[in-house]
């Protein structure tokens, strides 16, 4: 039997979805599995569809929303300055009026009353003749991004931020090591230090220029942040060196984290001026805190372990 297709036009692109392979419930099942909130509105901003992700983010079930209009101010969207968007400045309205995509960072009001930061993406829905008949909005929880920005802003105010990599700087790291040592002395909470050095950094600068060297440091910084746990602290110690402070670890966990940093950086590359990929690697020295030692002694031991990796060929991790 020949497949039946239904045309759906979003923005200016027409997509054909096979109808014989799935009933409408199939599409609903797919959309309901998304963690993002998704809803459709008609040209009057009347809600025609509301997925389970929207319920999870707002507390409102589809039965409470379908058929109602955005201008009813159900979610009470406001922008960063606190301006109400449902009556003026609504991304959905803008998309319906100008036929273009729109994005915004806004706050919605959860059914329980709290404010939830969300990132909103809107696309117009067009009929076959090109007229805009509605819009689709996808919104996602923006809490992690907002918290990250607050931390960055706080560190900038306190001069704790390395401006190239956007990581904590040496001053902040020294304070963090001191705090971890105090906790260790009082509560015996174990922690470790990773000293991470970008291999061949001078060669990168000399051969490809300092802009390329800066990009290398920035990419390594991003990779290290993603390699470690949310509770760990990683920052730029200086030059091509990074330090990570990892809490609640034993030697086995420390080894896993050190090797993960090394291996993930080895999968990272940047483009040189000629467009060719330039591979990056790091050498990692990692050690657990010992009773009675100072912060300088702890970091120095990690530093010596890192230099052993350098002497033995780089792109290595040594754990003690």
The pLDDT value given to residue 10: 47
Confidence of residue 232 (pLDDT cuts 50, 70, 90): very high
- pLDDT tens digits for 269-316? 998 777 788 999 999 999 999 999 999 999 999 999 999 999 999 999
What's the burial of 16, exposed, middle or buried (CB within 10 Å: 0-12/13-18/19+)?
exposed
pLDDT of residue 319 exceeding 50, the answer is yes
Instruction: Determine the distance from the C-alpha atom of residue 199 to the mean position of all C-alpha atoms in its chain, rounded to a whole number.
Output: 26
Q: Please, which residues have CB within 8 angstroms of residue 82's CB and are 6 or more apart in sequence?
A: none
**Residues belonging to the chain:** 320
CA distance 254 to 232: 12
Give the burial class of 319: count Cβ atoms within 10 A of its Cβ; 0-12 exposed, 13-18 middle, 19 or more buried.
buried
The region, left, alpha or beta by phi > 0 then psi within -120 to 50, assigned to residue 180 is alpha
Residue 216 near residue 279 (C-beta atoms within 8 A): no
Q: Summarize the confidence of residues 49-63 as an average pLDDT.
A: 93
Q: What is the 3-state secondary structure (H, E, C) of the chain?
A: CCCCEEEEEECCEEEEEECCCCCHHHHHHHHHCCCCEEEEEECCCEEEEECHHHHHHHCCCHHHHCCCEHHHCCCCCECCCCCECCCCCCHHHHHHHHCCCEEEEEEEECCCCCEEEEEEEEEEEECCCCCEEEEEEEEEECHHHHHHHHHHHHHHHCCCEECCCCEECHHHHHHHHHHHHHHHHHHCCCEEEEEEEECCHHHHHHHHCHHHHHHHHHHHHHHHHHHCCCCCEEEEEECCEEEEEEECCCHHHHHHHHHHHHHHHHCCEEECCCCCEEECCEEEEEEECCCCCCHHHHHHHHHHHHHHHHHCCCCCEEEC
Q: Is the model's pLDDT at 94 over the cut of 50?
A: yes
- Taking a C-beta distance cutoff of 8 angstroms, is the pair 258, 319 a contact? yes
Fold of 5-141: Beta-Lactamase (3.30.450)
Select which of 197, 232, 240, 274 is catalytic.
240
6: pLDDT strictly greater than 60? no
pLDDT at 15: 42
Cβ atoms of 47 and 40 within 8 Å: the answer is yes
**Domain spans, the chain:** 5-141, 160-319
Q: How far is CA 137 from CA 48, 96, 121, 147, in A?
A: 12, 11, 6, 24
pLDDT in the model for residue 4: 44
Compute the average pLDDT of residues 67-72.
82
Share of the chain above pLDDT 90, in %: 65
CATH class of 160-319: alpha beta
Closest CA to 262 of 238, 244, 237: 244
Tokens encoding 85: 């968007």
| Distance in angstroms (rounded) separating the CA atoms of residues 197 and 240 | 6
Whether the per-residue pLDDT at 1 is higher than 60: the answer is no
Mean pLDDT over all residues of the chain? 88
Residue 274 among the catalytic residues: no
Q: Is the pLDDT of residue 18 over 70?
A: no
pLDDT at 121 over 80: yes
| Distance of alpha carbon 179 from alpha carbon 187, whole angstroms | 12
pLDDT of residue 201: 94
């Amino acid at each position: 039997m020949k497949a039946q297709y239904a045309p759906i036009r979003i923005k200016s692109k027409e997509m054909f979805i096979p109808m014989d392979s799935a009933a409408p419930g199939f599409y609903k099942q797919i959309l309901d599995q998304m963690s993002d909130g998704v809803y459709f509105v008609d040209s009057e901003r009347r809600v025609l569809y509301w997925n389970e992700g929207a319920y999870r983010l707002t507390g409102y079930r589809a039965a409470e929303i379908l058929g109602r209009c955005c201008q009813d101010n159900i979610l009470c969207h406001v922008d960063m300055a606190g301006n109400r968007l449902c009556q003026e400045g609504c991304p959905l309205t803008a998309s319906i009026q100008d036929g273009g995509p729109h994005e915004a960072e806004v706050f919605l009001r959860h059914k329980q009353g709290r404010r939830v930061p969300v990132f909103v993406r809107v696309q117009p829905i067009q009929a076959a003749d090109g007229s805009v008949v509605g819009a689709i909005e996808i919104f996602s929880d923006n809490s992690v991004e907002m918290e990250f920005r607050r931390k960055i802003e706080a560190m900038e105010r306190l001069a704790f931020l390395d401006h190239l990599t956007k990581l904590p700087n040496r001053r902040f790291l020294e304070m963090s090591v001191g705090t971890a040592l105090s906790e260790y002395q009082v509560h015996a909470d174990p922690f470790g230090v990773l000293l991470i050095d970008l291999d061949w950094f001078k060669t990168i600068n000399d051969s490809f220029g300092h802009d390329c060297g800066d990009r290398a440091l920035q990419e390594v910084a991003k990779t290290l942040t993603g390699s470690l746990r949310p509770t760990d602290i990683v920052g730029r110690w200086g030059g091509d060196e990074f330090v990570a402070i990892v809490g609640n670890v034993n030697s086995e966990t420390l080894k896993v984290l050190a090797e993960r940093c090394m291996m993930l950086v080895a999968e990272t590359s940047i483009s040189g001026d000629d467009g060719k990929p330039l591979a990056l690697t790091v050498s990692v020295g990692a050690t657990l805190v010992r009773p009675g030692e100072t912060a300088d002694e702890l970091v120095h031991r990690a530093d010596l372990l890192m230099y052993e990796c350098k002497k033995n060929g780089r792109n290595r991790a040594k754990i003690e």
